[in-house]
Chain A
């Protein structure tokens, strides 16, 4: 910048001088000469006198008068030093800047130099490239800040491992870096001790002369200096590291030596094979991680292949091969060797094929497997039958099928076909089975199961009422009848066991379905008030009640139990009923109760499908849905959800009914043995009848099962949600089940278990984490590479050990 300015200036001054010359031409010779002389004098001489100055001023005035324009120059009295510089350079007037011409003035005596400089100046003048303007201050500051920020954040990141370590620590004892407690060394404690006796003095003077430590553990100055140079920790780390490397080195050397001495050909062959395998594995990895390197490797392989093809190695032209060829007729081993060699040749000369298209295929597949209905809104097809809600996982297959325009195929054993597709079915029977059959196999099995049960269900449904009546009778009836009844009960139990298997199967399937069904709305934000996605629940429950005494606390807990039970009672049906009934159905239930129709009768009857002319809003859609509905109906044709539910409920009721306790002891006070029953009177006497429980809560609710097992008083104390860090209930239960106290554990374990996470000392000042803590960090950093080293050599080691084993085996 300054330079360019200077050049510009110089240009101007040149012009000035030239103009002055023209002016000067017009002047008198004397004056001219005088002026020139003036110039020269003023420029060359160190100290111009006051005369010179005056003359100079006059000259200037004369020039200005000549020029027409009246230039006014400030003429002031001033210090000489301003005008006359120590570098023999002078500006022309007051306030003028020094021009280049002034500088050149001194060079008059050496004309050659003048020409040179002129040239240079000209060059400068021609050179018009300017420097770029510097960035604004704001921008530079911004850049500086950014750089500094990066630097500091990098520096700060060094703490990360320490911080993490502290966070993960089981117990932190503050203050962190405590001095080890215990007695200190005498030398540290007794500082002001002096040698007093002459003997002592003599000894100490000797020791000092040799710079020996006065006390045993204290170090010499040189040692101390060296220690100071490197902290103890670091030194230890360093030493450990060196030791390790040394040991490793010697170990590998020894091993290499051992291996080199092995003469067995087979061993080496095996080794080579292993190496090759390893290499292949590495190559595979390389393909994944570093494709460029892999490509190079490939090229190398290609090259080796070319070489192999060019050479006659591994072909049957060698000396060895020829000899073997002769032997091959008689010797099996020789033949084998030849074959092996040929194979090697084949392997080496084979061209490599790079699989490239796999990925694309994969992608296509994945695209196919992704069903479209995932994002669709769930259509409600049949409000009553829960099976008809939600789309099943079978859907994609069905779509495929519809694409292929293969009409669906239904096997004959379908239980109760719906009216809508009755006709189709007959046609389809003759058709071939398609893949979807495999999908439907699961349903089929279920159907078969159901069919076998259905045989029973028909009479069972008849029996149901009878059973109930019988149960009523049971309470009133005589003992004789009871005996019979018991046997009946046993049978019932057997049957119900069979049923149970089917039921559990069914319910598990159902749960899965319900889950599927529940998932789509899950992506909507949860409607629960006060619980956002980000927010964690509040740690405090703030209220207006002040707790002062234990009684208040008790009140508090009662409060909660009351509120909880209220909550729970509302929750129980939702949680415990077999999920078939939704809120809408509860509403239905109410309506039904109003109508006073016995729901048992209604429910056990088959639901009639009423065909309605659907308003065709979007024809294709409707057709699709219709088809799908039909398919689902078909699939679950045998599943009678309602009767299942009723059965389930009955079973629950039975389980809740108290059993008669039989305390008769056969053979006590009478004859006993095979085929002998205890007497009637005895049975009557020792049979304990338990009072019937209060009527079930769901007695009058036909489509609800309320679990009586759940005790609301206990529920108030139970955890209803799996707390955060736990992944499954069993985990949580396990932690709760293991006792902590000294009643169940030994003292040491109790201490260990109950140790607090943060321990602080009374009255000890805890200082912020200090730079010294970073040393630990360093140590980890130092040890890490060594670990890597090990892991790098891990496979080798393994390999070697494998080889050794093989070798041993071979020797054996």
Chain B
């Protein structure tokens, strides 16, 4: 005889622990859950509003320098360590978790121009206005020991910047010429080399492309070997494909003054730029305009900027002797998230993305407060640009067809490529 018994899997209804939430069987019949679009729209709207309310990117200010901070360096192995060099030649090592200065040393006479931590993280190099390259130990000297560089290389001219190879003991300096150095030697291996040996991160001031204005700094995309972005004096940033230098891939504009520094996020999807107009802006790598603008009342011209290598923070060093720590995503919650929290964040993120074109949501998510000076300046710039465009259009209209070719925004900024 066959006996049929109702059987249920206890996994479906029994909680694992008391703290678990009761499992509720759900019926996903769409007729039972009407108005899905309006409901989700409301949720998206709320999510955007909350995002704006919780957008508090400023985390901390590290003060201690006695002059404007000129450069910074990330530690390749430790997230919490950061180095900064100021205009009076002083160098400070910071612990970011404790937000305090760990070590101070007088590195150079005059500006500390550049700084880089070697790939292994045990030492770092500094270049200064006193025409020297100095190598220092990462550890603080013990009691009674003097603060002395491991090596000092005297150069012929001032070095303006330095960068280290990602995997080898090779570093690059630039000044009047570009030098490639071995860590072990006191003479450059190669000087004035144009072909760069490593694709990972060797940066130097570009000389190949003549632009309308001077390019300040340059940063390679860490995930795309051939793309780099350079910041320019003409308020714009340009992303180039190194193989085709005659036209930038993207022109990023929004700043209202010279852009002084740029750094890519380690994911290679975005980059952050520091400007003379006292703001920091975050750009998606392929967008012409910024997605975020950071500013504070007290922050002056931002000279140097770094994106932390865990993609969560941004460090900015400015003229008024402070280093500021920002969140890379303004509304992001810091620290560990519970799985439910995480899924909620993901969901709201998705909703925002889904309804991003709806006018209300777009308006709220795009609104940013700007200091009056910058606001009016950007307005002025816009008017100027419009006027220029109008004039060009009129000239074209009144000249022989074909005599005034349409020059795209991208083409406008590159004068020539020097071989």
Contacts and interface: CB of A to CB of B under 8 A. Distances in A.
Contacts of B243: 153, 156-157
A719 B357 CA distance: 7
Contacts of A758: 267, 269
5 contacts: A156-B225, A166-B268, A536-B289, A557-B360, A717-B360
A25 interface: no
Contacts of A546: 369
A148 B201 CA distance: 18
Contacts of A532: 389, 409
Interface stretch (B3-11, B144-152, B305-313): B305-313
B287 A557 contact: no
Nearest to A736: B37
Contact of B37 (A545, A737, A754, A769): A737
Contact of B194 (A145, A742, A768): A145
Interface in A147-176: 148-149, 151-153, 155-157, 159-160, 163, 166, 172, 174
Contact of B53 (A156, A530, A536, A547): A547
A474 interface: no
Specify the main secondary structure of chain A where it touches its partner.
loop
A176 to B, nearest CB: 8
Contacts of A539: 284, 287, 289-291, 366
Contacts of A750: 343, 347
A111 B296 CA distance: 97
Contacts of B391: none
Contacts of A770: 166-167, 200
Interface string A511-539: 00000000000000100011011111111
B233 to A, nearest CB: 21
Given A538-B254, A764-B310, A768-B200, A736 B354 contact: yes
Given A739-B40, A744-B28, A145 B419 contact: yes
Contacts of B351: 740-741
Interface string B358-373: 1110011011111010
A692 interface: no
A754 B408 contact: no
B309 to A, nearest CB: 5
B38 to A, nearest CB: 9
Given A542-B370, A543-B369, A768-B266, A534 B49 contact: no
Given A142-B419, A743-B39, A756-B346, 4 more contacts: A538-B254, A539-B287, A547-B55, A550-B49
A553 B367 CA distance: 9
A763 B310 contact: yes
Give the interface size class of chain A. 35 or more
B290 A540 contact: yes
Which of A146, A560, A746 lies at the interface centre, i.e. has the most chain B CB atoms within 10 A of its CB? Answer: A560
B386 interface: yes
Interface residues of B, number: 85
Contacts of B66: none
B138 to A, nearest CB: 16
A545 B389 contact: no
Contacts of B311: 174, 760, 766
Nearest to B366: A541
Contact of B33 (A525, A541, A743): A743
Nearest to A152: B195
Contacts of A536: 287-289
A740 B354 contact: yes
B103 interface: no
Interface in B14-64: 28, 30, 33, 36-37, 39-41, 43, 45, 49-50, 52-53, 55
Interface string B197-226: 001110000000000000000000011111
A196 interface: no
Given A550-B53, A766-B310, A740 B40 contact: yes
A33 B292 CA distance: 101
Given A561-B360, A751-B343, A765-B77, A545 B225 contact: no
B194 A553 contact: no
A760 B200 CA distance: 20
Given A530-B386, A547-B369, A564 B293 contact: no
B76 to A, nearest CB: 7
Contacts of A547: 52-53, 55, 367, 369
A541 B45 CA distance: 17
Nearest to A561: B360
A735 B353 CA distance: 11
A755 B367 CA distance: 26
A471 to B, nearest CB: 36
Interface in B340-393: 343, 346-347, 349-351, 354-355, 357-360, 363-364, 366-370, 372, 374-375, 378, 382, 386, 389, 393
> Top 3 A-B pairs ranked by shortest CB distance?
A768-B222, A148-B195, A766-B266
B79 interface: yes
A553 B43 contact: no
A459 interface: no
Interface of B: 28, 30, 33, 36-37, 39-41, 43, 45, 49-50, 52-53, 55, 76-77, 79, 166-167, 194-196, 199-201, 222-226, 242-243, 251, 254, 266-269, 284, 287-293, 309-312, 335-336, 343, 346-347, 349-351, 354-355, 357-360, 363-364, 366-370, 372, 374-375, 378, 382, 386, 389, 393, 406, 408-410, 419
A754 B43 contact: no
A525 B393 contact: yes
A556 interface: yes
Contacts of A504: none
Given A529-B386, A736-B37, A758-B269, A542 B195 contact: no
Given A557-B360, A719-B358, A762 B200 contact: no
A159 B367 contact: no
A736 B77 CA distance: 44
A756 B30 CA distance: 26
A765 B309 contact: yes
B53 A548 contact: yes
A525 B404 CA distance: 14
Nearest to A145: B194
A149 B194 contact: yes
B312 A760 contact: yes
Given A149-B194, A543-B367, A754 B343 contact: yes
B360 A560 contact: yes
Nearest to B200: A768
A430 interface: no
A123 interface: no
B391 to A, nearest CB: 12
A62 to B, nearest CB: 55
A765 B350 contact: no
Contacts of B40: 739-741
A172 B265 CA distance: 14
Contacts of A740: 40, 347, 350-351, 354
Q: Which of B30, B55, B167, B357 has the most CB of A within 10 A?
A: B357
A159 B199 contact: yes
Contacts of B309: 765-767
B194 A545 contact: no
B419 A146 contact: yes
B104 to A, nearest CB: 25
A718 B389 contact: no
A612 interface: no
B235 to A, nearest CB: 14
A769 B222 contact: yes
Interface in A90-139: none
A720 interface: yes
A768 B364 contact: no
Contact of B375 (A543, A548, A716): A543
A723 interface: yes
A282 interface: no
